[in-house]
């Protein structure tokens, strides 16, 4: 019998995304309608996820309950009469156990991570089945998947729950960001994230703020600047497309083509190439997947 997961706190987009992933993987997923909006109920039911009024008699031995941190106390009150063995997780606890099941890629940064995430999803999915958790509208679970891609957690009190294989950082430039109080807070947060990484950090070296990451672990830097490990050169625009050469450690790697003209997108491609090289993916197939990616997916 498939595991059943009950969710409390489904107005949070990451909780909704996780529920979709588990549902896609054919687990039984049930949402409790405590403080759930009609729009969110409609979204969940449209995905085939049941939304029910809380009932203790429906919970069985061995079921699992995933709770948004803000509702932990409320959940304990609701479940206190329950005389059954169930597994209990808050969202970050569950993620800490889910991530190690796959080759995990965390995408973080203060600019551009959504577009990079979409590029990475399309490219990696052309190689193997993948799962991803980025938002309520960008989540998918695949049985027998190899890669799990997720938006990096930048909340200091929860970072230790996440130990990805790879961490991609697009930017640490907080000049247009209100999430952090100052540059020091940004620095400390990302250094903490780097210390959690199992294999490698891939970061945009054109943002000099990222150079401090070397104090916490090995980093593959990418960008246009000649001091990076992975460099794009000779960028040419022709007939609505971009062509550019990629160098790794000053050695020519290959010439790549991108389906629309946006130099910022070249940086995203470099990040994807960095992950592909670290994972030993086929370069010819990689070029084809990158070539077919376009603004339609952004």
Domain boundary among 52, 67, 95: 95
Contact residues for 85 (Cβ-Cβ < 8 A; gap 6+): 61, 62
Q: Are 125 and 233 members of one domain? A: yes
Beta-bridge mates of residue 32: 52
User: What tokens appear for 104 in the block?
Assistant: 């995990």
Rounded Cα distance, 88 and 247, in Å: 48
Q: Are 282 and 149 members of one domain? A: yes
The per-residue pLDDT for 94 is 96
**Tens of pLDDT, residue by residue, the chain (298 residues):** 689 999 998 888 899 999 999 999 999 999 987 778 888 888 888 989 989 887 777 888 889 999 998 888 888 887 877 777 888 899 999 999 999 999 999 999 988 888 899 999 999 999 999 999 998 878 999 999 999 999 998 888 899 999 999 999 999 987 656 677 788 889 999 999 999 999 999 999 999 999 999 999 899 999 999 999 999 999 999 888 899 999 999 999 999 998 877 788 899 999 999 999 999 999 999 999 998 876 544 4
Rounded Cα distance, 169 and 36, in Å: 33
Residue 210 belongs to domain with CATH number: 3.40.1190.10
Q: Any idea of the CA torsion for 129, 16, 95, 149, to the nearest 10 degrees?
A: 30
The per-residue pLDDT for 294 is 60
Q: Are 86 and 107 members of one domain? A: no
Domain boundary among 95, 113, 131: 95
Sign of CA dihedral 41, 44, 47, 51: negative
Domain boundary among 66, 95, 124: 95
The per-residue pLDDT for 168 is 98
Number of domains in the chain: 2
Rounded Cα distance, 160 and 139, in Å: 23
Q: Are 143 and 75 members of one domain? A: no
Residue 85 belongs to domain with CATH number: 3.40.50.720
Q: Are 165 and 88 members of one domain? A: no
Residue identified by tokens 């995408």 is 107
Q: State which H helix or E strand residue 122 sits in.
A: helix 113-125
The per-residue pLDDT for 74 is 82
The per-residue pLDDT for 40 is 84
Q: Are 42 and 185 members of one domain? A: no
User: What tokens appear for 123 in the block?
Assistant: 């490219």
The pTM is what? Answer: 0.92
User: What tokens appear for 67 in the block?
Assistant: 């709770």
In this structure, the strands spanning 241-248 and 230-238 are antiparallel
Q: Are 12 and 42 members of one domain? A: yes
- What range does the domain containing 209 cover? 102-297
Q: Are 122 and 147 members of one domain? A: yes
Rounded Cα distance, 232 and 243, in Å: 10
The per-residue pLDDT for 259 is 80
Q: Are 91 and 107 members of one domain? A: no
* Total Cβ atoms within 10 A of residue 196: 18
Q: Are 176 and 62 members of one domain? A: no
């Amino acid at each position: 019998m498939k595991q059943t997961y009950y969710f409390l706190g489904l107005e949070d987009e990451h909780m909704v995304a996780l529920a979709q992933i588990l549902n896609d993987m054919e687990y039984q997923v049930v949402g409790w309608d405590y403080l759930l909006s009609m729009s969110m109920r409609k979204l969940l039911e449209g995905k085939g996820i049941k939304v029910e009024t809380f009932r203790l008699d429906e919970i069985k031995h061995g079921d699992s309950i995933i709770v948004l941190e803000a509702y932990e106390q409320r959940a304990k009150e609701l479940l206190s009469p329950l005389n059954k063995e169930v597994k209990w997780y808050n969202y970050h606890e569950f993620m800490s156990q889910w991530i190690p099941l796959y080759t995990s890629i965390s995408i973080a940064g203060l600019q551009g991570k959504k577009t990079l995430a979409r590029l990475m999803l399309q490219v990696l999915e052309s190689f193997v089945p993948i799962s991803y958790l980025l938002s309520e509208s960008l989540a998918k679970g695949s049985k027998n998947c190899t890669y799990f891609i997720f938006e990096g957690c930048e909340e200091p009190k929860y970072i230790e729950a996440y130990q990805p294989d790879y961490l991609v950082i697009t930017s640490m430039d907080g000049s247009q960001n209100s999430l952090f109080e100052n540059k020091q807070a940004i620095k400390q947060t990302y250094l903490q994230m780097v210390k959690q990484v199992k294999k490698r950090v891939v970061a945009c070296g054109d943002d000099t703020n990222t150079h401090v990451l070397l104090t916490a672990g090995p980093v593959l830097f990418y960008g246009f600047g000649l001091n990076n490990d992975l460099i794009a050169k000779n960028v040419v625009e022709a007939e609505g497309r971009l062509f550019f050469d990629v160098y790794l450690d000053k050695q020519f790697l290959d010439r790549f083509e991108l389906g629309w003209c946006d130099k910022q997108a070249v940086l995203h491609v470099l990040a994807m190439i960095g992950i592909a090289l670290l994972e030993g993916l086929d370069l010819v197939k990689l070029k084809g997947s990158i070539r077919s990616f376009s603004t339609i997916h952004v």
